[in-house]
Structure 1
Amino acid sequence: MTLLQRLPIDRFLLMLIATVILAALLPIDGEAADAFGWLTKLAIALLFFLHGARLSPRTVIQGMTHWRLHLVILACTFALFPLLGLLIGLFAPGLLPPALAMGILFLCVLPSTVQSSIAFTSMAGGNVPAAICAASASNILGMFLTPLLVSVVMATGDDGGFRLEAMGAILLQLLAPFLLGQVLQRRIGDWVRRNKSWLGVVDRGSILMVVYLAFSEAMVAGLWQRLSASDLAVMVVADCLLLACVLGITIAASRRLGFSRDDEIAIVFCGSKKSLASGVPMANVLFPPQTIGTMILPLMLFHQIQLFVCAVLARRYARQAPASDAASS
């Protein structure tokens, strides 16, 4: 432990790596995976309940009415990402199979993640109410915008049917626990704020559970065996380049537009994410079954990369918070 403490390695990153190794060695599938999926959903619901119980209604209203922040995040999710995807597509012919190149475009038109965006915003000390509103709005709007963007950006003839039950799931799993926490805020809010370490455990725990389940599904499906090493390398480079561009643009734009540090964190973590949870069911609706595996593979890789990179970035923001607070005082 003393040696680990001296090394410049983030502990949460080590936990993420250990989770990936566990999923590779002992992937969960079948009924056990279904049960673990329900536990993951419960952990996410608990996370939103605790956020609702901790935040005052005034703070939540301020987050909802922060329209400039929400416009920036939505522009990153549904405009910046597709434009960058099209630029990458100009260089993809000859480097990637057509199905994987289309998969990168599909990744770019998806909504933002919800649980990890909010968890990382919380870890970094950012504007959690705004992140909750922005990430939830992204997923709800994504039910309509993603099929439309698929037909435009990917030049398909499909009018893009979508699942209204997915919208209901978002409202039930995320918004309902948060509103319940808001209802009980006067009764348990002080206790939750005094025991804020619980919230950190749930934040990190829900992310680790999502990572383990996602990697297990990839291992069980055998998607990695279908690719050559060169295809995998090009996809990783493309995903890393895409994420790096969006992170750099969101950081620069938020500072250029005069947002506060807390708002910058929400913009960075909500505007740079793409949702695997939304992407897989949407792919099932939008594409033929035989193409779904390769279509979602770039998304699966991007999902893992964004978790690792944003975990490090969130901890870096958190370490900088005391210094910035001291400087401002």
Structure 2
Amino acid sequence: MQAWLCENPTGVDALVWKDLPTPQPKAGEVLVEIKAASLNFPDLLIVQNKYQIKPPLPFVPGSEYAGVVAAVGEGVTNLKVGQHVACLSGTGGFATHTIAPAALCMPLPDAFPFVDAAAFIMIYATSHHALIDRAQLKAGETVLVLGAAGGVGTSAIQIAKAAGARVIAAASTDEKCELCKSIGADATINYTTHPAPNAFREAIKEATSGKGPDVIYDPVGGDFAEPAFRSIAWRGRYLVIGFTAGPIPSLPMNLPLLKGASLVGVFWGAFARNEPKANAAMMNELAQWYAQGKVKPVIDRTMPMAELKAAYAHMGSRGVKGKLVMVNPV
């Protein structure tokens, strides 16, 4: 097998494409022949030693992937050789093969392409858990999605629309705003031309007829968090997804008090570990939504696995719309 190996987590440049022995699965594990693997923000942080999970060195990055089961370990009864699966195991995806816990593998129907499957679990599980479970989103409510043209942002738009909500999408270019409209956003805010704090707040006020959004979905953080929270509706729910802008914002604690609003943390990985039955039910519903056409990953582009460093550079340029997916030769 071949894999991108991180022997020293000092950044993308330290990754090396290496030939490695193909491992055999142990009890409870499967060997997956990887067909596609998506690039997520945590994949950048983990090779910089900045992610909350720090795997033992050396490791193969790539948190999310899809492929074919090539071998099964002892005691694995829910999967068989030749079965198509998607998996989010945290590491191992940027390779031709990987060992995955069988319990983390999502069986795929034949009509679920590998590229879509590799871009599915992280963003849709995060957004469904955030909007449906944590925010208890109701039909007719208004959702403001920050970073709306990215992977989690595009999934949030689709899930909010599937729940019957009105969606305002905030993104950094007119092109990204048009993408958001094409997948269901009812209104958009270009926060480059409406910068935080004042112009951004005015744009939110105009888009909500002065009421403010009922739910704010924020994977960005940075300078947008406080003006967005100041714009929230009475009894609003502010979903803390992540901090792709870099700085972790500090909010004055009087703001939730004045708005009767909730600041809600969203950590899908911990939810999946602590509430496995609820997570399994959610993933089953999401698979059904995909089959029904309610959700479909937005794929910015596919690139050969060997061009991973160029893919990281493209993601770092903030030009990605939706998801970047690395593919192995057929």
TM-score (norm 1): 0.23
Structure ranking higher in strand proportion: 2
Structure ranking higher in helix proportion: 1
The structure, 1 or 2, with the larger RCO (C-alpha pairs under 8 Å, 6+ apart) is: 1
